Amino acid sequence: MDCCFCGIRACAKVILAPICIPYKLCCGSKSNTSPQHPHVPSPISKQPSISSLSKSSLPKGNYEVFLNFRGPDTRHQFTGFLFNTLDNVKIRTFMDDNDLYQGEEIGPSLVKSIEQSKIYVVILSANYAESKWCLRELAKIVECRERDKRHIILPIFYLVDPFDVKHQAGPYEKAFQQHERNCAPEIVQSWRKALELVGRLSGWHVKRTDQHKDTLDGVFKTILAVIRRNDNLLDTSDLVGIDEHVKAITEKLSLESPDLTMVGIHGFGGIGKTTIARTVYHKLGDEFERQCFLQNIREKQEVDKDAAIELQKTLISSVMMRKDFTISINSVEEGRKLIEDRVTPFIILIVLDDVDEKFNFKEVLGDLENFARGSRFIITSRNIKVLSSFNKNKCKLYEVGPLNRQLSLQLFCKHAFGEDGPQSGFETLAKKIVKKINGVPLVLEVIGKSLSKEEKSFWEGTLAQIEKIPPKEIIQTLRISYEQLDYQAQQIFLDIACLYIGENKDLASYMWSDIGFYPDKEIPLLIHRSLIKIGDDNKFQVHDQLRDMGRAIVREESFEHPWMRSRVWNKKEAVELLQYKKGSINVKALNLEDEYETGKLTCEYFQNLSELRYFEAHGVAFEGDFNEILPNIRSLCLREHKNEGCYPTNFQMRNLVTLDLEDSWDLKSDWGGWSQLKTANKLKFLNLSGCSSLTRLPDLPRSGSLEGINLSKVSNLDPDVELNVGGLWNLKQLYLNDVKLKRISGGTIGTMKKLKVLDVSDLECENLEEVLADIAELSSLETLTTTKPLTDELQDIDDLTPSDIELPTSLKRLRTSSPVVNLSELLKLKVLTVQDCYDPKLQIPSVEDSWWKESKLKHITLINTNIDIASSSSPLPRLPSSLEFLIIWDCLESKWLPTLENLENLIELGIIECGHLQEIQGLEKLLQCNNLKSLQIASCPKLTSTFRRGGRFVNSSLQELCLRNCGGSIPRLSNFPSLKELEIGKIIGEASEQVTILALFTTLS
């Protein structure tokens, strides 16, 4: 199979010959383009890195958050406000009256509360160290954290310097002098150790009392993000009764057989079919060369006439292993041919989720026999007859039935009480509710969450409602949770179910906030009640049963007349509404889903839609006078907007908060809508990326409301065009990649103190050096992308040398060609990519620097970069111990690399085409850590000793090993019992003597 990007032969089996760069580094490379809906972060000051807080799931316990604080200092201020904020969204929070306690030891119940909590918020105030009770709690917290790294500590330095906390100086010094006189030395030392550890952690520094609101917002959103991240991890420990299902389906898949196998999972909605399929998919995915999960097929086919083509695109892009992969498919037949060419050669695991009678396997995917032997298909459906139609392919059927009474009670109690059984006094009610729900997992979860922390009377009322629902319609019980919401939460849920599944949370929140809703309050509530979820990409997710429930509620507004409903998302109904001018003031949102075939939308179509606040259509053109038409529009998405000689006039934008015109390549500078843009004083986000026909930039509103601007690939502007950034002081995201400007006027980027994301890759601008000179002043910047050396852009500034150019310490993601002179200070950085940095060289902080211990870096990629390490360096510099992925590619001049011996968390290591590299220090010690899964060393001919001959150890984690064109001996292959992929070619040493060992590897694919 050839890679469609580089023409290199991709190999997933044993190779004993030289080939080109591995497919993983080509087909799996990341894109540098900005996202379609860039994340618009909330203003959190000094927020810890979410992904660095916990790699694995949070521990289970009665409490999600434990507050450690000194009562007289903060109870009725900061701590009290934080507790109320968390409690309002039903996050289980422990807040103890510790200032009322006396004695020398904390009691067993308090110890248990600390041990079972997931997140510790430590509020360190000026008089905190005076309280022995606070210090005892803190010592126990640190002990729990050291014993189980899944626990998370979030420190808040409240009117106290972090230095004083870390070193017990200032107000803490006097307190410890008193403790040393009155307490045992070992106890005092444990308190000092705990404060020192907490003082080193990233957190929030409250310097003034007027910073309360921003800090509270930051802590609250960080806690939500951590809990949300934990919810999104595939942790089967909370999936009650799933193990037996997974075991049974795994047996039916017959992995030991070389044949093609298909398993169909059936059962009614909400019973857990998708959850089971996804669990099997994640558990067995590594057994296959490729895998793909095609979800919500039934829904896609209901709303999109081109659903088959979209499914084909998703499958092909998954196999190509590129998230940014785009491919043009003009017909289903063309898609089948591409699948046969690019997908079927791989041994693949495919899940077809939620199919119905409209799905035709052969039409979408082609003949089953075309797929590589050993491939597996898992199909889920509510209808067993649909799966029976696959019997010609010998589809093995598996029915998912209701949970038994015992497992039902366990699942319900997990969500209602946070434990496996009912709390005292609720036993009878819990058992009655569980009996009525009849073993449906989704209903058990949603109803359980809705009853969490509620009074008995509320439980009794809910039970009375459930008893009125016939057993065969138990899925309707979900509606009870919806009806318990307040009006705003209901409206936000309906918007998500009808319009925003798979869309960016922050862009939707702009609209809700502008119409008087409070999304920061309501969205966490919806998440807590399990009505919605938010993925790591900050996009909404909703179970298909809950989606269908929400849409059914909207349809009930008028069964026969879609134009009388509040939201219209079905394309056929939306087209009919517009073409026949059937709109009404009831319609608040209208979505055409995809391209509108007739092309033009005249102002007459919208005459009766005065209350419309959301409109989305692709490939349309507007025409006519829109004066006083759509006066309440808030969110307008017109991707691939067309000119076609149409010039709308008086387009209403005074209430607009988001405008998305992405890829409107036909849109020119004389479009009639531009004249109104400067009046859009509420506008929060403007997306003009890909509007390549623009020769002038439109006048931007200067009200200070704009928070995001995307001008990526607006690449044909006139030579005299300037970008005026004056008045854009609230900007949080700015994308200027692949743009050519005369200059940036109105100030420097350094004046944008709230900027979090900046992309200036391939930006051409006469005064770029002046604009970026004070980039270190961007104290909120988290993501920076620049593919041109900052030092090259700045070399003409008087009295400024490359060593003067520093980056803000708030950075979390950096892609650059700069030597990054203050790398040791970027302790929040998680992802670092340095490309084409050769003069001056990239300097790695010395081993004496604490950077390698304190940095949060997870990913480092160095491409064509000269690493500044002399052969006399002793000891060699170290990379951060937190590192999980390290790729060093085409660094031809580098003779030495930092030592790898401390990288015990490393999962993937690739060192390719480093022609002068002489030694990789610490490699064998790295291999003795059982975390490394992939190791590639290629085209490093001057390596003298890759592995120590005869080294004896066992690495049970390594699955991929590639050694090509490099010196030294091959490691003993029997050291790697889990090896699945092996590639050996042109090893300068003894290779043939180990080839006979290959026969012993039953794991190799």
Gap between the Cα atoms of 566 and 555, Å rounded: 9
Residue 288 CB coordination number (10 Å): 21
Gap between the Cα atoms of 582 and 605, Å rounded: 8
For 551, residues 6+ apart whose C-beta sits below 8 A from its C-beta are: 497, 498, 569
Residue 1003 CB coordination number (10 Å): 13
Torsion of CA 208, 213, 218, 221, to 10 degrees: 160
* ∠ Cα 697 761 23 (to 5°): 130
- 3-class secondary structure, 919: strand
Gap between the Cα atoms of 15 and 965, Å rounded: 13
- 3-class secondary structure, 589: strand
CA 455 to chain centre: 36
Q: Which of 137, 616, 640, 793 is catalytic?
A: 137
Gap between the Cα atoms of 262 and 259, Å rounded: 10
At 106, list the tokens: 């904390």
Written as one string, the DSSP assignment of 265-317 is: EE--TTSSHHHHHHHHHHHHGGGSSEEEEE--HHHHHHH-TTHHHHHHHHHHH
* Rg from Cα positions in the chain: 30
Gap between the Cα atoms of 690 and 681, Å rounded: 24
Written as one string, the DSSP assignment of 665-676 is: TT--TT-TTHHH
Gap between the Cα atoms of 895 and 919, Å rounded: 8
Q: In what order do the strands lie in the sheet with 396-399?
A: 290-294, 348-352, 376-381, 261-266, 396-399
At 373, list the tokens: 């032997």
Q: Are strands 722-724 and 743-745 parallel, antiparallel or unpaired?
A: parallel
Gap between the Cα atoms of 775 and 147, Å rounded: 41
Gap between the Cα atoms of 617 and 620, Å rounded: 7
* ∠ Cα 79 80 86 (to 5°): 90
Nearest Cα neighbor of 143 from 179, 97, 173, 106 is 106
Strand partners, 967: 988
Residue 666 CB coordination number (10 Å): 16
At 467, list the tokens: 């008893």
Catalytic residue flag (residue 137):
yes
* ∠ Cα 430 436 441 (to 5°): 80
At 404, list the tokens: 């038994």
CA atoms within 13 A of residue 613's CA, in its CB half-sphere: 17
Strand partners, 292: 350
Gap between the Cα atoms of 767 and 979, Å rounded: 53
Gap between the Cα atoms of 904 and 932, Å rounded: 8
Gap between the Cα atoms of 119 and 691, Å rounded: 45
Q: Are 862 and 888 in contact (CB under 8 A)?
A: yes
What residue type is assigned to position 552 of the chain? A
Cis before 875? omega within 30: yes
Number of H-type helices and E-type strands within the chain: 33, 34
Q: Are 677 and 654 in contact (CB under 8 A)?
A: no
For 174, residues 6+ apart whose C-beta sits below 8 A from its C-beta are: none
Which positions are annotated as active-site residues?
137
